[in-house]
Amino acid sequence: MTPRERVLAVLNGQRPDRVPWFGDLDYWATALIGRGEKPPDFKRSDAYLDWHRDLGVGYYLQGDFPFRAITERCRIREWNEGKLRRRQIETPCGTLGETWTWLPQSFAEAPTEHLVKSAADLRAYRYFHENTHYEPDYAFAERRRGQVGDLGVVLCYLPKSPLMQLIALDAGLTAVFEIFTEAGEEFHKTMEVVRRSHDAAASLALACPADVLMIPENLSSECVGRTFYEMFMHDYEETWARRIREAGKYSCIHLDGTMKGLLRETCSTSLTFIEALTPAPAGDLEIEKWAEWSGNARTVLWGGLPGVFFTELVSDEEFEAHVRRVLRVMRSAPRYVLGVADQVPPDGLERRVRRVGELVELHGAYP
């Protein structure tokens, strides 16, 4: 079977010949480009898919957002200052500003100034979302569909839930909890405004030429407890999981942190699968306990191989033992997809990535 046939079998509740193996190589590719080992346009080229084929890895990430945001009645400036990427949004209700700093050692950037800093910024933040609309932009998904073929699936993104938009990107965890505590009513009002904006964008994603639509939550249960999940996230995920299914596509969220607090809750939705699950020893839940903690036998569980296992920090012996352990669990039932949790890092070893495919051929067949 091809990688695409294998993963679609599992997503449809059927049994393929072997456990599907799909890895997120985007971060690793970013580092290779940064070090001059791959060309600047590598990730959008046919060569990127050929690289996956050569390494024996099924393809599903990275996708893109199949819509473009258009903001009116605001003055938006974006510029770079060395390693800093800045954005300023001027509204009649106030000015918002953010800074992201590039970290050359890790080939990544992180927010060093958040757009929303306190409750005083919520009015301007609402105005910004109230005056943003969206247009479809399916060109890259159409291009990817032609590139991917039998190697895997085409995936595109919906917006995050409004809460995770604030926690992961626009405000940070500390500010979110301070604002919720100090100005709860206004916080709820802001969540409603952002929800309407994100719903409009998500509606456009339904018609894009993708097999899978992901809500890229970057969720971790030490950041979002059950109360906040039920209050601000469950309905968003359930609504769009249902609408994605009605559109003939598969749905998922990205849960790449601790699992015990939220795995059962996310699996209670209609999502097809939960992606980037990180087991112990890097995560907080052993692979053997995933099925029990998920609470049902319907949701597909995708992940299993922590990124650090692809580096010299883990011995070849420990790496091989972990992959075999994960495969023993995953071949017990066709509800798992073997994946990286969540990405092969910049110092990833090519021989490790290749070895996973070899181990799947040797030990990944269903009994």
Q: Per-residue DSSP letters for 40-58?
A: TTGGGSHHHHHHHHHHT-B
By CB atoms closer than 10 A (0-12, 13-18, 19+), residue 233 is buried
In the structure, what pLDDT confidence band is assigned to residue 167 with cuts at 50, 70 and 90?
A: very high
Let me know if residue 125 belongs to a domain.
no
Is the same domain home to 34 and 59? Answer: yes
pLDDT above 90: residue 63: no
pLDDT above 90: residue 2: yes
Mean pLDDT of 93-98: 98
Is the same domain home to 319 and 287? Answer: yes
By CB atoms closer than 10 A (0-12, 13-18, 19+), residue 104 is exposed
Is the same domain home to 215 and 77? Answer: no
Is the same domain home to 36 and 82? Answer: no
Let me know if residue 332 belongs to a domain.
yes
pLDDT above 90: residue 325: yes
pLDDT at 297: 82
Domain that holds residue 97: 73-114
Q: What's the pTM?
A: 0.97
In the structure, what pLDDT confidence band is assigned to residue 146 with cuts at 50, 70 and 90?
A: very high
Q: Are 221 and 258 in contact (CB under 8 A)?
A: yes
Is the same domain home to 210 and 63? Answer: yes
pLDDT above 90: residue 113: yes
Is the same domain home to 249 and 344? Answer: yes
In the structure, what pLDDT confidence band is assigned to residue 148 with cuts at 50, 70 and 90?
A: very high
Is the same domain home to 206 and 282? Answer: yes
Is the same domain home to 103 and 65? Answer: no
Is the same domain home to 61 and 193? Answer: yes
Is the same domain home to 90 and 237? Answer: no
Let me know if residue 119 belongs to a domain.
no
Is the same domain home to 212 and 258? Answer: yes
pLDDT in tens, 254-297: 999 999 999 999 999 999 999 999 999 999 999 999 999 999 78
Let me know if residue 211 belongs to a domain.
yes
